[in-house]
A and B are shown apart, each in its own frame.
Chain A
Amino acid sequence: MNRFLVRLVVVLTIILGINYVAWRWLDSLNWSAWWIAVPLVLAETYSLIDVCLFGVTVWRLKRRPEPPEPDPGATVDVFITTYNEPLDLVMETALAAQRIRFPHNTWILDDGARDELRGLAEEHGLGYLTRSADWADRPRHAKAGNLNNALMTTSGEFLLILDADQIPEPEILDRTLGYFRNPKVALVQTPQYFSNVPADDPLGSQAPLFYGPIQQGKDGWNAAFFCGSNAILRREALMQLGLAGYVREVDRGVRQALAGARRAVRQARRSPQASDPLVSALLDEVAEAAEQASRELKDGASLSEITYRVRRKVDAAVQTLVAADFSALEADLAEIAAMDLARGEGLEVPDELDSAVERMAKRDWSPLGALESVQAILDAVSVERSDEAQPIMPLATISVTEDMATAMRMHGMGWESVYHHEILAYGLAPEDVQTMLTQRLRWAQGTIQVLLRENPLVQPGLKPGQRLMYFATMWSYLSGFAAVVYIAAPIVYLTLGILPVSSLSFDFFIRFIPFMVVNQLLFAVIGRGVSTWRGQQYSLALFPTWIKACTTAARNVWFGRPLGFAVTPKARQSGAPGWSLIRPQLVAMVLLAVALVAGLGRLAAGMNEPIGTLVNVAWVVFDLVVMSVLIKAVRYKGFNPLERNADAIHR
């Protein structure tokens, strides 16, 4: 396939697409039915942008020649990450990793800390790592945390990262390490390919479009993604990432802490005890220390010294106050005892007791309490980052999919990445709908989290092409909302006779059909024989998953609500077919079928026009064919090696 042809089709697609969508906006909206007309034109605009981003991606599609030879002196650690996968599965991968030809150390990173696995690793001479004690009671950050932990106790110059089910070929390092001869290369990603998938791939597990033209296209823009497994990373780049993130976090944290400290001191000044000269003097001292620290921070002074000094000052003040409070408490007790003695003698006594108790109770909100809260604030954000298990977190922890965020930060720091298009590891895909849906949900959630937390369009350091490449992937995960409209629009016409377009005239067909044709041609030219149909089906059919991912990720990022995150199980989930898992899609399919019958009825009764009916019937049939993949998926009984089509192995 030559680059000229690809670019020609891309240009045609974009021109015809804009021609169609511009006409839709300017000259075809049925405003009397705006409630369906506007969502539909928005959905179409979304899809046009999606296609344009795809066009930009493949514009620079990069087919790399044979890789350079590795530097024989390179040192490599192979990390196999596991949490709860069956031990035989982990060991099969680990032993295959041990057999990798290029000299290396193999490590099992067991987040399940299973003694049995430790024993097996020792028996076979494999490295075995679990989280250090620092991680107890601190955020574990799932796989990113597991890798960050291992980075601190190993020393290879390069790291090959493998999921527990990804069995590597012996030549995986020989084929990839050579790229690191370029000192700016930080990442080499190879495809993820699954060996337990039948030729017709009912669950849409293989991603030939992504691990092919899309990654090759991103590679052309120096934006090939890290995908979590089957990738080799340069330790220096990761550590640099960790250090930069650390300084940023510390600076931000110290700034916030000092502001918090000043606020707390102001609050404490209002309490009655602040009139005590000792207390007042201590508060002045702490306030002055925080004030001075803020000034020094602005001048770029040493963060560690700033926080250390403030902390020491607060500690001393707290100690003095605690000592003073003891004596005050004793004085109060004596007073209470005295009042007790006086009880029988006057009516005003109970009031006095009340006020004494109240004074004591107020000690909780006293200057001591305030200073203790300052201590807590300083602790939470001071240079040692005691809220985290380790101060340096090389792999990004802002998202449940650490890989994309990490790669984006690397690119932002000027590192380069490589996509090596050769299958060098064979993994296991989910074999049931539930697991598949969990996995897709997790990927989508992670991607949306990164979009909301570190929007690639505004991150410093990225080149325009890189921004678009990251944004393209994120944009494609918003498709769920468009899918709902694409399903609803034909139902609305066939059952109610309401058309979102002002007329289905020659004007419509002359613009729409050429766009659709070149659009499909683009996929055909780019895909070149690899089946992209499954992927297209799933991107529409899983609309409830995509929508859920967007809403849960938004709630998580903006309101701190949990995602309901689950690790993708590698072993097949048992149980009956999960029709309930695809209930929204089943409802949609029933509605589409009903609309079909209703539409034909309305046509017979002369209530709908023939052309409108024809277009919408075709549309409904298309929707149904697309979603039929789910019926196949739910009925899928898991992989049977005997049924496997030999063609599927060597695409």
Chain B
Amino acid sequence: MQFTVERLPDYAEVNGVGKLNMVAAPKLREVVADVVAHGSNHVVVNMAGTDFMDSSGLGALIGCLKLARQAGGDLRIANVQPQVQMVLELTSMHRVLTPYQSVEAAFSNG
């Protein structure tokens, strides 16, 4: 999986393209830890290019959520694809990580 990071005034956008599985999970954690360490504690993970996610990938997202929260911010996800949405609902995890329609919408309510 390829990650790119874009820092915007209100939040940082992390873009993941490919499969967010057990191989990509530790890498995602590193990328977000780095983003948070550099001062952006509001993070949006743009999942438009993530066509597959397994439990390890979801576990990594939760780990990243914790990082952002502990730094006083938050992590949100946007543009989830059908398979990812299914995994979220199967585990009831959509109640913890609610998907947003777009990156812009993620932090629009503060």
Contact = CB atoms under 8 A, between A and B. Distances in A.
Contact of A391 (B25, B66, B92, B110): B66
Interface in B32-84: 54-56, 58-60, 62-63, 65-66, 69-70, 74
A242 B55 contact: yes
A155 B26 contact: yes
Contacts of A303: 95-96
Nearest to B30: A153
Contacts of B29: 152
Nearest to A394: B59
Interface string A219-248: 000000000000000011001101110110
Contact of A156 (B22, B69, B93, B98): B22
Nearest to B67: A384
Nearest to B68: A384
Nearest to A239: B55
Interface in B74-110: 74, 91-98, 110
- Of listed B29, B54, B55, residue having the most chain A CB within 10 A: B55
A385 interface: yes
A308 B54 contact: no
B66 A386 contact: yes
Contact of A242 (B23, B54, B59, B95): B59
A246 B88 CA distance: 13
A494 to B, nearest CB: 62
Contact of B70 (A239, A308, A312, A386): A386
A242 B26 CA distance: 16
B54 A239 contact: yes
A236 B63 contact: no
B13 to A, nearest CB: 18
A155 B55 contact: no
Given A242-B59, A250-B96, A155 B91 contact: no
A495 interface: no
Interface in A355-399: 382-386, 390-392, 394
15 contacts: A152-B25, A152-B26, A156-B22, A235-B55, A239-B56, A242-B55, A243-B58, A244-B91, A246-B62, A246-B93, A302-B96, A382-B69, A386-B66, A392-B59, A394-B59
The 9 lowest CB-CB distance pairs between A and B, nearest first, are A239-B55, A384-B66, A302-B98, A384-B69, A392-B59, A240-B55, A155-B23, A155-B22, A243-B91
Given A156-B22, A240-B55, A382-B69, 20 more contacts: A152-B59, A152-B63, A155-B25, A157-B22, A236-B56, A240-B91, A242-B55, A243-B58, A243-B91, A244-B91, A246-B62, A246-B93, A247-B93, A300-B95, A302-B95, A304-B95, A304-B96, A308-B69, A383-B96, A394-B59
Interface of B: 22-23, 25-26, 29, 54-56, 58-60, 62-63, 65-66, 69-70, 74, 91-98, 110
